[in-house]
Amino acid sequence: MVVYDKKFENQNAMKSFIAERELAYCSQVETIAKLIAQDEKIKIITLCGPSCAGKTTSSYILEKTLEAISGIDLKIISIDDFFKNRNEVENQENPDYETIASIDFDYFKICVNNILEGKETKLPKFDFVSGNRQEEYDIYMPHKKGIVVFEGIQAMYPEITAILPAESSVSIFIDILEDVYAYGNLFTRRDVRFFRRLVRDFQFRDASVKKTRYLWKNVSLNEKNNIYPYSFEAKYTINSSLLYEFNVIKKYLLDMLEYDENDKFLYDEIKQKFENIPDIPAEFVPETSVFKEFIG
């Protein structure tokens, strides 16, 4: 467990601490990128982790680093874009996008085979607001010296890894690895990701607090059954804890989210847990931060 109760004398101290945490985070990803660049056999990276661990930004840092140090052409493919249309999944009102059944697995296999054979590939794009695949596709032509990153919570599911060549694939697992005792209150790793998801889904996926809270039950169950059991198979691990995010997300949780009367208990709990945490303005967070995935 990490104890976090940092006091900030002024705004410069806040900015300095953010920069320190960002550097530590990026250093993890960059170190892994350099190790991968040394292995010429690697053609596929699977980047996996539970919901709101920071997979998307980590894939971009990998891309930037690999291109800078070795000229490797990196293509990031989100497995989320292979989601079935909402009318094709069970419980259309609140679809469970955490399971392999939510993936258009047949089309995913076609794309993987095309990529491995060096063929032009039509990659889908999924719109979370409408709950449907877009009509437009992303046309990708594999590069001979390129690496593909399959990024998503399902990236290490056995059904996915079974169709990837083991000799030329490597897995990275990302998660918040420690509980935090922050300013007198305990925040579990799961708490931190839940708060990230509340804010992200409200802002970018048209999801109310009630809906996110409802879906979180399935999210957590799926993580327990289908993500964490395979996390130990990953060759590399990234800790996405930033610490300063407690100070930044407080305002979003208390002032931006819209709670109905059934969410009052959650609001009261959040208010109590964050009452002693000093605020840090969101504008101090750099645009390249993994935390931008959640606050925008």
To 10 degrees, what angle do helices 11-37 and 55-70 make?
60
Per domain, the residue ranges of the chain are 2-295
Tell whether the model's pLDDT for residue 92 goes beyond 60.
no
Mean pLDDT of 143-158: 88
* pLDDT score, position 218: 86
* pLDDT score, position 281: 97
- pLDDT band at residue 23 using 50, 70 and 90 as cut-offs: very high
pLDDT in tens, 176-186: 999 999 999 99
* pLDDT score, position 153: 87
Tell whether the model's pLDDT for residue 96 goes beyond 80.
no
Tell whether the model's pLDDT for residue 32 goes beyond 60.
yes
Mean residue pLDDT across the chain: 92
Q: Which has more confidence, 94 or 171?
A: 171
* pLDDT score, position 232: 92
Alpha-carbon gap, residue 154 to 160, rounded angstroms: 7
Mean pLDDT of 214-232: 90
* pLDDT score, position 66: 87
The CATH homologous superfamily to which domain 2-295 belongs is P-loop containing nucleotide triphosphate hydrolases (3.40.50.300)
Mean pLDDT of 258-281: 95
Alpha-carbon gap, residue 166 to 155, rounded angstroms: 14
pLDDT in tens, 45-86: 999 999 999 998 888 888 888 888 888 888 999 999 998 887
* pLDDT score, position 94: 58
| Rounded (10°) CA dihedral 213, 215, 216, 220 | 160
Q: Which has more confidence, 279 or 133?
A: 279
